[in-house]
């Protein structure tokens, strides 16, 4: 691996926390991929790209041989306990700065400050917009008071960015216009009458505009995720109208994950001034094939618009793999270009720094 | 090639028969790709990836040199006659078990038992649902009697699976619900009044649910095919709602071909417990580039959910190429991962067996 | 590089002119990618695949070292002046025949005859249909007289092909039918009342049919372009119905660029007899990664249906890079297939000639 990539400081601009508690084999497999459960029609989810990657890279962190069996690995993991396993993998990952979306099952995960404390890293919060709205509703508000209650909650947040899961709730074909106050009140009224979680296009759109108003970069879940998503509604191109409408604000919009639409995302990052993209989740999800995927993702995106993230959730192994497979993929990409004479080292170093941390620090104004 | 891939027993879970009769050059080229005819605006269809693959790999099976000209090859082929050509290529392919959809131009092709008899292989039938429905209608039925006549026909079948070509007839955006009896009768009534082939969303959906009720794995044509398909209606993601609705039945759904949506298909196989995928047709269709395609197709699919198929139709060469290019692609995939230390041989052997035959035997309950 | 690819005569079947005047750094970067402007949120657009390609390959043409800094390169460029820079890069590109769409900002660019005169090349005009219609309207016509005025203008043209930018104006989901005279008059009436540019589905469709009537091959902008495009309306599969309706005319339809839908385009070229595809714009847009992209684009397209183009616009560097990166990608594709025994040299030479110039000369009837 290129030494300047092996040593590269990393800002992980999108991740979640690690589990506080131990998991058994079933629990481990359920967190390994986006499948809800291991299917009796298939075989173990260790039979997958990410499963092979776990078995190659993770046992040595716990003092086992590479390619240990799943049984041996999980036995060792259990015998060490969650706290030690978390510490070992987070140390191995060596992320310098975390931007944490702590809004998915927060009761099970370490919050961002505790996550960062494990390794003495820096951390920041990213506020999950739909959860914020759901908490506003849970705290009790009228339809007419919903908008201002959201604004108050956002103003009280010390997050450095906001996260929208509109992709999961209503799809990415958001209308471009900022919704009017009466539209938001009407949407809130429908939601209050219906109950349940935040799943209204007007509300999702309102939340995005409010975050942008506060100059909070907005992250969108894009592309693949769990079975709750309709992937055909998660193509980033569906955001085109909204991106065009918000370009003039000068506030970054981050397209997360993007697989298998990563080329579409790269195009958007090229033509819209405020759009950034990453390849989180997919980088470790495809295991040893991450190199080809990163190369595709870097075809047309300006290097000043690509961010590193792991999208790790629950298992600390995913931080380690997200980092390791990213470093390896980036190193392979740069090495190949240097070997063919298409890139000189000084430029390779600069590109690595942009992607590794400089773009994130600039876009989120972390300094 | 890795010896355990060269020797791998194969279940071809989706193929058609071979032609009984000889073909001339025009007929050969028309069966080579998905084009209906050779275009006067282009050149010979031997000028294609599959054409190059035929010329490289097929002449030696007929005792010619590799890369023989199309003329020499076709002359030799004709002089041997269809029966000998079929025998030679089916022996070279060496498929152990065929699952045959014999419903496309059955009058021209060897049926599954005759196909299998050529090489002493095992074979099973896959019933083509739209053809079954068309035969029910052709045999004479009322709108009200259509549903039960279909059920009777399905109950009488000894097929191990069912095939839906909804993609060709109505597109894959099927509604998720099981249609009610009155809805089916109304749809049958419309069809009987209109005449022609089976091309109604309600009927296609009814057929799928009935097959699943009988625990018959249902194969869907997905992705590319001939000019009769609207490829933008053949994206497997359009099946999402139906897949979600049928996941609980525990009966496999097989997404066939999938190119160029093979990454989308892999995602579905990861998140829905009953979804399996293959890369038939494309494997030989892209010729010497099959390796990259298979690698893409294996990015996120669990290895317990990927099946081998040729989708060979008409020309016995397509069996040979479908098998050979698949073995080569799989061997390259596994070899590369072993060479980089990402995979050990014992796991490679297991993955090859899963994909080569174990997944198919388990999913279709062949034992 | 394979010598027969290095020497290959090229017909660039889709390009624009080069700028008459010098550009400053801002102007240069704005022409480098599809971004309208350099974003203050990102970094220089030299931080991109195309930026790296410029810095590797272009400085030597101007007697600088490869990988010169952007500053040094642009200083040198400015000191030589536009005429000399244009001459140097057009000579380096060595295109034998240009087919030029001169309809985008014609006041800034060299028209096709002047472009060709720089290097003594052959050139032909491609008429931009929407611009032709806008000129008809600007010259004054009634709604009822619009259709005939367009016909007169087309008849007066000596173009060898026509170009449709329906993708930009109304998207590619054009209806298949030839619009009736009353429909065209009504559409023209709406346009005359509304004013502005040509952006009506009926008018776009009318223009396409009229061009095909005159046996002018019709080029469609497909896939990525600037921020004015809605990329999800630029998938070539949206043209399926129109392609099916026009197949019988026997007049070529050229799908341009196609990235990131190049696999979809290749499928269309396989199954519809009159469809041809290229990879212009993307070939230089992805810089040193053009090899993988070309390989993907050649998966299922018949080699008799693939065309070379640069889609170069404004900067003469883009001609040089479009040619050089294409030659390198094609050479790598053919070399790899020869090295693995999948292709023999005589076939490789023939495929190169088809793609380099023979397909274009045949399709546009240039001889």
Subunits adjacent to chain A (3 or more Cβ pairs under 8 Å):
B, C
Side-chain-side CA neighbours of residue B33 (13 Å)? 32
In angstroms, the first-to-last Cα distance of chain B is 29
Record: contact C231-A267, CB cut-off 8 A? yes
Question: Cβ distance C149 to C184 under 8 Å?
Answer: no
Q: Which of B41, B47, B293 sits opposite C274 (nearest CB)?
A: B41
Predicted local confidence at residue B314, as pLDDT: 96
From the CB of residue C341, how many other CB atoms can be counted at a distance below 10 Å? 12
ipTM of the complex: 0.97
Q: Alpha-carbon distance C74 to C68, whole Å?
A: 10
For residue B178, pLDDT beyond 90: yes
Which residues of chain A lie closer than 8 angstroms to B252, CB-CB? 41
Give the integer Cα–Cα distance in Å for B243 and B273: 9
Hey, what are C75's tokens?
A: 């200083």
Residue C103's pLDDT is what? Answer: 87
B47–C302 C-beta distance less than 8 A: yes
Q: Cβ contact (<8 Å) for C47 and A298?
A: no
Q: What is the mean pLDDT of residues B46-51?
A: 98
CA distance C292 to chain B (A): 10
Continuous H helices in chain A: 3-6, 25-32, 49-57, 70-80, 82-93, 112-119, 129-138, 146-156, 166-169, 181-194, 201-213, 240-246, 262-271, 282-285, 290-297, 316-339, 345-353, 359-363
The C-side interface with A (CB below 8 A) comprises 33-37, 39-45, 47-49, 52-53, 55-56, 66-67, 224, 226-227, 230-232, 259-260, 282, 285-289, 292-293
Asked if B364 and B99 count as a contact pair (C-beta separation under 8 A), the reply is: yes
Across the interface, do C33 and A273 touch by the CB < 8 Å criterion? no
Give C15-27 pLDDT, tens digit per residue: 999 999 999 999 9
Distance CA B211, CA B209 (A): 5
Chain A residue set in contact with C, beta carbons under 8 Å: 235, 237-238, 240-241, 244, 247, 250, 252, 263-264, 267-268, 270-274, 276, 295-296, 298-305, 337, 340-344, 347, 350-351, 354, 359, 362-363
List the single residue in A252, A270, A296 with the smallest CB-CB distance to C33.
A270
Q: Report the C-alpha gap between C64 and C57 in whole angstroms.
A: 10
User: How far are the Cα atoms of A8, A293, A300, A307, A329 from residue A332, in angstroms, in the given order?
Assistant: 14, 11, 18, 17, 5
Q: Which of C235, C342, C351 sits opposite B232 (nearest CB)?
A: C235
Question: Are B93 and B127 a contacting pair, CB within 8 Å?
Answer: no
Whether the Cβ atoms of residue C316 and residue C85 lie closer than 8 Å to each other: yes
**CB contact (8 A) between residue B341 and residue A49:** no
B262: closest CA of chain C, how far (Å): 12
- B77-107 burial, b at 16+ Cβ within 10 Å, e below that, comes to beebebeebbbbbbebbbbbbbbbbbbeeee
Task: Report whether A163 contacts A137 (CB < 8 A).
Answer: no
Percentage of chain A lying above the pLDDT 90 cut: 96
Query: Residue B207: which H helix or E strand, with range?
Result: helix B201-213
Residues in B lying within 8 Å of A, measured between beta carbons: 235, 237-238, 240-241, 244, 247, 250, 252, 263-264, 267-268, 270-274, 276, 295-296, 298-305, 337, 340-344, 347, 350-351, 354, 359, 362-363
- Give the pLDDT score at C144: 97
- Given a cut of 90, whether residue A165 has pLDDT beyond it is yes
Of B45, B53, B232, the CB nearest to C302: B45
pLDDT of residue A82: 96
3-state helix, strand, coil in chain B (%, to 5): 55, 10, 35
Specify the residue for token string 């002119």.
Answer: C17
pLDDT (tens digit, 9 = 90+) per residue, A121-140?
999 999 999 999 999 999 99
SS3 (DSSP) at C114? helix
Q: Calculate mean pLDDT across residues C43-52.
A: 97
Which domains, ranges and CATH numbers included, belong to chain B?
Answer: 3-20+93-363 (3.20.20.140), 23-80 (no CATH)
Q: How many CA atoms lie within 13 A of A176 on its CB side?
A: 11
pLDDT at A104: 87
- Determine the pLDDT at residue C104: 87
**pLDDT value at position C187?**
98
List CB contacts (< 8 A) between C311 and chain A.
none
Contacts A272 to C, Cβ<8 Å: 227
Residue B181: per-residue pLDDT: 98
Enter the tokens of residue C111: 């028209």
Mean pLDDT, chain B, integer: 97
- Total residue length of chain A: 367
Residue with tokens 């980089």: B340
Checking if the pLDDT of B304 tops 90, the result is yes
Is B33–C270 a contact, with Cβ atoms under 8 angstroms apart?
Answer: yes
User: What pLDDT sits at residue A76?
Assistant: 98
- Kindly determine whether residue B232 and residue C240, on different chains, have CB atoms separated by under 8 Å: yes
Residue B33 per-residue DSSP state = S
Give the residue numbers in A contacting B (CB under 8 Å), as ranges.
Answer: 33-37, 39-45, 47-49, 52-53, 55-56, 66-67, 224, 226-227, 230-232, 259-260, 282, 285-289, 292-293
Cα dihedral B176→B182→B188→B191 (10° resolution): -80
Non-local CB neighbours of B33 within 8 Å, separated by 6+ positions? B45, B48, B50, B285, C270, C271, C300, C302
The span from the CA of A282 to the CA of A14, in Å, is 13
pLDDT of residue C309: 98
Distance from CA of C258 to the nearest CA of B (A): 14
Mean pLDDT of B312-319: 97
pLDDT single digits (tens) B179-209 = 999 999 999 999 999 999 999 999 999 999 9
Q: How many residues in total does chain B contain?
A: 367
- Asked whether the beta carbons of A127 and A144 are under 8 A apart, the reply is no
Q: How far apart are CA B131 and CA B148, in angstroms?
A: 16
Cβ contacts of residue C296 below 8 Å, gap of 6+?
B292, C262, C263
CA distance A313 to chain C (A): 28
User: So what's the pLDDT on residue A334?
Assistant: 98
d(CA A294, CA A305): 14
Instruction: For residue range A238-254, list pLDDT tens digits in order.
Output: 999 999 999 999 999 99
Could you tell me the pTM of the whole model?
0.98
Which of B64, B260, B262, B265 should we substitute to test contact with C (largest number of C Cβ atoms within 10 Å)? B260
Nearest to A354 among C43, C45, C232 (CB): C43
> pLDDT per residue over A203-260, tens digit each?
999 999 999 999 999 999 999 999 998 999 999 999 999 999 999 999 999 999 999 9
Partners of A247 on chain C (C-beta within 8 Å) are 227
The whole-chain average pLDDT of chain A stands at 97
Question: Residue range B18-39: average pLDDT?
Answer: 94
Confidence of residue A97 (pLDDT cuts 50, 70, 90): very high
Average pLDDT over residues A310-324: 98
- Peptide bond preceding C196 in cis form (omega within 30 of 0): no
Residues C54-64: tens digit of each pLDDT: 999 999 999 99
Of C4, C6, C3, the residue nearest C327 (C-alpha)? C6
Which residues does chain B have within 8 Å of residue C267's beta carbon, measured at their own beta carbons? 34, 224, 231, 260
Tokens of C3: 């010598």
Closest CA of chain B from C304, distance in Å: 5
Work out the end-to-end distance of chain C between its first and last CA atoms, rounded to an integer number of angstroms: 29
Contact A288 B244 (CB under 8 A): no
Supply the DSSP string of B225-239, one letter for each residue. -STTS-GGG--GGGG
Instruction: Judge whether B95 and B319 are in contact, CB under 8 Å.
Output: yes
pLDDT tens string C146-179: 999 999 999 999 999 999 999 999 999 999 999 9
Helices A316-339 and A345-353 sit at what angle, rounded to 10 degrees? 150
Chain C interface residues facing chain B, Cβ-Cβ under 8 Å? 235, 237-238, 240-241, 244, 247, 250, 252, 263-264, 267-268, 270-274, 276, 295-296, 298-305, 337, 340-344, 347, 350-351, 354, 359, 362-363
Name every chain B residue with its beta carbon within 8 A of the beta carbon of A43.
302-304, 354
Q: Show the tokens assigned to A182.
A: 């009466």
Give B271's contacts in chain A (Cβ within 8 Å): 33-36, 226-227
Nearest CB among B250, B270, B341 relative to A33 is that of B270
Is the confidence at residue C34, as pLDDT, over 90? yes
pLDDT in tens, A16-71: 999 999 999 999 999 999 999 999 999 999 999 999 999 999 999 999 999 999 99
Q: Under a CB-based contact definition with an 8 Å cutoff, are residues A273 and C41 in contact?
A: yes
Q: Do B36 and C250 touch (CB under 8 A)?
A: no
Give per-residue pLDDT as tens, B83-113: 999 999 999 999 999 999 998 888 999 999 9
Confidence band for A103, pLDDT divided at 50, 70 and 90: confident
pLDDT digits (tens, 9 = 90+) for C319-332: 999 999 999 999 99
Residue A335 has pLDDT above 90, yes or no: yes
Residue B212 has pLDDT above 90, yes or no: yes
The answer to whether the Cβ–Cβ distance between A295 and C292 falls below 8 Å is yes
The DSSP code sequence of A322-354 is HHHHHHHHHHHHHHHHHHTTS--HHHHHHHHHI
For chain A, report the end-to-end CA distance as a whole number of angstroms.
29
Q: Decide: helix, strand or coil at residue C364.
A: coil
Please answer yes or no on whether C43 and A303 come within 8 Å at the CB atom. yes
**Chain C contact set for B47 (CB, 8 A):** 302-304, 350-351, 354
Q: How far apart are CA C255 and CA A95, in angstroms?
A: 45
Put simply, the answer to whether A299 touches C288 (Cβ < 8 Å) is: no
DSSP string covering B248-304: GG---EEEEE-TT-HHHHHHHHHHSTTEEE--TTHHHHTGGGHHHHHHHHTSSS-GG
Q: Pick the residue from chain A with its C-alpha nearest to B299.
A: A286
Indicate yes or no: CB of C250 within 8 angstroms of CB of B40: yes
Contact criterion met (CB < 8 Å) for C288 and A343: yes
Average pLDDT on C271-279 reads 98
A–B: how many Cβ contacts below 8 A? 105
Q: By three-state DSSP, how is residue B169 classified?
A: helix
């Amino acid at each position: 691996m290129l030494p300047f990539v092996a040593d590269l400081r990393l800002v992980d601009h999108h991740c979640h926390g690690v589990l506080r508690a131990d998991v058994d084999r079933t629990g481990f497999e359920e967190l390994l991929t986006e499948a809800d459960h291991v299917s009796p029609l298939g075989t173990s989810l260790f039979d997958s790209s990410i499963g092979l990657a776990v078995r190659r890279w993770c046992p040595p962190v716990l003092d086992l041989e590479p390619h240990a069996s799943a049984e041996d690995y999980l036995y060792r993991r259990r015998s060490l306990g969650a706290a030690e396993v978390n510490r070992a993998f987070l140390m191995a990952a060596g992320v310098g700065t975390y931007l944490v979306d702590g809004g998915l099952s927060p009761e099970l995960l370490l919050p961002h400050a505790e996550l960062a404390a494990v390794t003495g890293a820096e951390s920041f919060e990213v506020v999950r917009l739909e959860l914020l709205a759901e908490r506003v509703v849970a705290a009790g508000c009228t339809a007419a008071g919903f908008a201002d209650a959201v604004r108050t909650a956002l103003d009280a947040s010390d997050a450095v960015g906001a996260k929208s899961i509109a992709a999961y709730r209503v799809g990415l074909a958001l209308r471009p216009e900022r919704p009017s106050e009466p539209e938001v009140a009407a949407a809130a009224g429908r939601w209050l009458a219906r109950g349940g979680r935040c799943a209204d296009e007007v509300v999702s759109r309102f939340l995005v505009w409010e975050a942008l108003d506060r100059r909070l970069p907005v992250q969108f879940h894009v592309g693949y995720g769990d079975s709750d998503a309709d992937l055909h509604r998660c193509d980033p191109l569906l955001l085109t109208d909204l991106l065009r409408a918000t370009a003039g604000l000068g506030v970054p919009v981050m397209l997360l994950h993007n697989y298998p639409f990563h080329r579409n995302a790269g195009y958007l990052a090229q033509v819209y001034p405020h759009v950034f993209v990453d390849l989180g989740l997919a980088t470790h999800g495809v295991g040893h094939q991450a190199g080809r995927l990163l190369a595709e993702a870097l075809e047309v995106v300006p290097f000043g618009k690509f961010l590193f993230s792991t999208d790790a959730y629950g298992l600390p192994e995913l931080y380690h793999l997200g980092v390791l497979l990213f470093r390896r993929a980036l190193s392979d990409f740069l090495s190949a270009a240097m070997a063919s004479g298409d890139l000189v080292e000084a430029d390779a170093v600069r590109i690595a720094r942009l992607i590794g941390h400089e773009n994130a620090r600039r876009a989120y104004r972390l300094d």
